[in-house]
Structure 1
Amino acid sequence: MEENKGQVVEGNVFIHPKDKELTMSDLLKFIGKNKNLADEYRHNLKMYKGNHDILNKQPRQFGPDNKLVANLPHYIVDTYNGFFTGIPPKVTLDDKETNTLLQEWNDENSLQDKLSEISKQADIFGRSLAFVYQDEDSQTRIAYSSPIDSFMVYDDTVSRQPLAFVRYWKNTDGIQVGMVYYATKIFSFEGSKFVDETTNPYGLVPAVEFYGNEERQGVFDNVKTLIDELDRVLSQKANQVEYFDNAYLKILGVDLDQDGDGKPDADLIGNQMIYSPDADATNATVDFISKPDGDNMQEHIIDRLISMIYQISMVANLNDEAFAGNSSGVALQYKLLPMRNMASNKERKFQQALRRLYRIVFSVGTVLPDVHSEDWRELKFTFKRNLPDDISNDADIAQKLQGMVSQETLLSILPFVNDPQEEIKRINKEKQENMQQALKYGPAALDQDKPDGDEDGDAE
């Protein structure tokens, strides 16, 4: 029987001895563990979509049974992801020719859109994966993959280098199939046996794992119990409102029998009235039954839960009244500080992952010439937080930094400049055209160089 050499360590990271391929026993063990993790991934996805646990609870036997969902996971994920990738990050190279090729490849592969989806998956699941492949035309492409049905395996060294990337699914016959990608070869498997082997053209494991923290926690993992309790409290409050919505009228000590049959007029008495004429008429009572007032307590716990959810998830509630009077300045920056800190840590992780991804992309020579295969070391990444910035303020900052930093750095400050190098090209081209126009129409230009009928240099 094959010995299991693989193990799962902190953060649900799969580890296997270096330079040893996965046995089928190891592979099935890792797939089984990932399927267990996938249950939690699916639960997070259901919460993001608004399918919370309260909707699946057994209905009550008596009384109103409202099931309300406060879908804060959707708000938290979309707000944080928009804050992080709402302004697409810039990936550039210093060399103009190679940078042009890089930008063309990024646009062809819709890199910014894929990176936004990868970031969102990392916020929901705690991790996401991107893998590189060659299409039918031998062009290098990338795709993102969900951790629900794929995972990375790392070696057991201190640096934890990628050892293999695994994807699996069920075919039309219901049999589990998949692929294992190593640095030099790719295995296909079906059921409990390997069935095919091909060559990996990259010389590297063609996949990269993206995550925002080493623990692989999603952005709302720490507040799921608070969200469930908020759903319960809101539903209970709605039940009570509905229960007491139709007030009961009590009539005590007043005889409403006008026709002598011993019964009050049927038009006066309904299902929401308590009638008793036998009481002492001197103490007659006609009023509505008051309901217990727990509204203040309910509102207090709702406010407390919402506040704690945003505080612990470290994602700012931009609809909070606290932001209304502080639309700019240091006060607003302090309110956003926890989210900025979390995004800064995520940015560092994403830069490392992107550099590894481009190392794979550049390795085959279809994006950049082979002589530039090591240019992944020279990549520059610029992440800008998506905030309601004042463009005039950004322009003032760029103006004040004139002469202190490079023109490319100045242009990268401006949020509407997507490619600083391309913008520099346009600026230089405009300068050349203006200079040519000045020479052509200037007083010092020769008569034969001027347009027809403009010997005096006064061109119309």
Structure 2
Amino acid sequence: METLGTKGQVLSNGMFVYPKDELMNETAINAFINKNRGFTAKIYDRNMQYYLGKHDILKKTNATGIELNKIVDNIPKYLVDTYNGFFTGISPKITLDEDSLNENLQNWNSSNSFFDKLSEISKQVDIYGRSYAFVYQNESADTRVAVVPPTQGFIVYDDTIEHEPLAFVRYYKNSENMLQADIYYGNATQTYSDGKLLDLGLKSVYGMVPAVEFFENEERQGLYTDCISMIDALDDTLSQKQDTIEYFANEYMYVLGGGIDLNEEELSYMRTHRLINVPTANAADIKIGFLERPDGDNVQENQLQHLNDKIYQTTGIPNLSDSNFAGNASGVAIRYKLLAMENKASNKERKFTQALRALYKVVFSIDSVINVSDAWEDLKFKFTRNLPANLADEASTANSLNGIVSKETQLSALSIVDDPKAEMERMEEEQDQQLKKSLEVTGADYEKLDDTNQEQPEANQKSIKSHFSNDEEVDND
């Protein structure tokens, strides 16, 4: 634990802590911002550069002055994209039991492109180790969510054992190129500009800190943070291997003996055609061959394979292009090979479920989305791993659940069903349409029957609809 200013602290995982129920002073704000900018320079920017393929080998200089190859294997991007696609490639299902509330929830998710933002948050967590979702009201007083990377903001937690959010700080350069920060407490906002704190501003409409931190592990480590040294070694080995290939491609032939003194033109010819001619008076000493150096290809290949295996093993992400996957058509066998990544995703799912519930608590705190402030407690989350789906097996599984679980749970077993509740409503509508068509065949008046059914007990209505739900039975009658 490190002390910042007089009261601030930073924990070993990079969490900022300040005494509960106190407003941060100028010294604390400045210390927190400078510390986070230090994290950005040392960790966040480096991790992003590696994701973008801008590895340290590109900045290395050769002491001999000879320009050597610099090859980058952008394995961090493969790791992040594969893992993030596995985790959020299929959007999670976030639902409420009450139909009208659930409809409002889905409309808000759609209008906010929320699942796209959630995927971006997930990617930033893989790269940086953490990311933030910030809730705000736009000019039309609509509730919106923005993704804030840890390079632009952070949350300060209180010093209690629960470490509840005390404030969210978002900093940036203003129009005058001066550092400015907006501080969002649970009850008000404050501005920090040019090293000075202004008076408290607008009262918060949420009654709580309008931001939530997302992370996968308590240490706030990115997916490949522990593998940077191995990635550097992999780049070095690949570059050296290319140097070796070019060396043999540019191999010199030598002729020792039997030659004559060479003029400048002949020497130029030798350089162009990679030939070395050393004259000698004794014809018996003539030798012809190629300059060679020890062949380290096997050593390099073993090193490349070893480094690749260790990187995939350390991160828990499988190499899907590996030949071991090609010979296993069994879904169960592939599942076992994906077990390490599945375990990581399960842990990430628990952390994200907790963060999402906290985020929706902020969103639901005002009635612009849902007029039930504690509806966040009833949210249901279902994450689906993005694997090739065997619809026949899923259909068989769903069918075997008939009569054992609820219809909603039964439909949730199908990956092609995004919203089980909406699917149930569509099924009911289709059943009503079938009933209407069946009655038209018999000449009955659907409207009169529907009015009659409304006066009958619900069980009788279901019995009538069930009786006419099969066109073939009606035709046989």
Paired residue for 1:410? 410
Describe the shift of the 1:279–1:110 C-alpha distance in structure 2 as closer, same or farther (beyond 3 A): farther
Distance in 2 (CA, whole Å) between partners of 1:262 and 1:19 is 89
Superposition pairs of residues 276-425 of structure 1, within 5 angstroms = 276-278=278-280, 280-282=282-284, 284-369=286-371, 372-425=372-425
1:42 maps to which of 22, 45, 54: 45
| Residues 50-449 of structure 1 aligned to structure 2 (within 5 Å) | 50-196=53-199, 197-254=201-258, 266=266, 270-271=270-271, 272-278=274-280, 280-282=282-284, 284-369=286-371, 372-442=372-442, 445=444
Q: CA RMSD in A?
A: 2.2
**8 Å Cα contact 1:250/1:273 also seen in 2:** yes
Change (3 A) 1:30 1:250: same
Whether the aligned pair in 2 keeps the contact of 1:64 and 1:243 (CA below 8 Å) is: no
1:174 shift after superposition? 2.0
CA offsets, 1:18-68, max 9 Å, x none? 111111111111111111111110111011001111111224544441111
The residue number in structure 1 matching 2:9 is 7
CA distance in 1, matches of 2:243, 2:264: 33
Q: CA–CA distance in 2 between the matches of 1:288 and 1:99? A: 77
**In the TM superposition, what whole-angstrom CA distance separates every residue of 1:214-246 from its partner, at most 9, and x where no partner exists?**
000000011011001111111122122222321
Equivalent in the alignment of 1:452: none
Counterpart-to-counterpart distance in 2, 1:268 and 1:138? 77
- The answer to whether the Cα contact below 8 Å between 2:182 and 2:191 also exists between their aligned partners in 1 is yes
Q: State the shift of 1:180 in Å.
A: 0.7
Distance 1:329 1:233 in 2: 35
Structure 2 gaps, min length 5: 449-473
Secondary structure at the aligned position of 1:104 is classed as helix
1:453 is matched with none
User: Tell me, which stretches of 5 or more residues in structure 1 are unaligned?
Assistant: 450-456
TM-score normalised by length of structure 2: 0.88
Q: Which moved more, 1:59-68 or 1:80-89?
A: 59-68
**CA, structure 1 residues 70+14, in 2 after alignment: closer, same or farther (shift >3 Å)?**
same
Conserved? CA contact 1:252–1:279, under 8 Å:
no
Distance 1:11 1:382 in 2: 29
CA–CA distance in structure 2, aligned partners of residues 63 and 380 of structure 1: 61
CA gap 1:282/1:268 in 2 versus in 1, 3 angstroms: farther
- Displacement of 1:316: 1.0
Aligned residues: 441
Taking the aligned partners of 1:365 and 1:264, their CA distance within structure 2 comes to 89
Compute the TM-score of the two structures, normalised by the length of structure 1. 0.91
Higher-helix-fraction structure: 2
**TM-superposition CA deviations, 1:73-114 (whole Å, max 9, x none):** 111011110010000111100111100000000000000100
Query: Which residue is 2:462 aligned to?
Result: none
Deviation at 1:194, TM superposition (A): 1.8
Rounded Cα–Cα distance in structure 2 between residues aligned with 1:402 and 1:321: 40
Q: Measured at CA, do residues 237 and 95 of structure 1 come closer, stay the same or move farther in structure 2, by a change above 3 Å? A: same
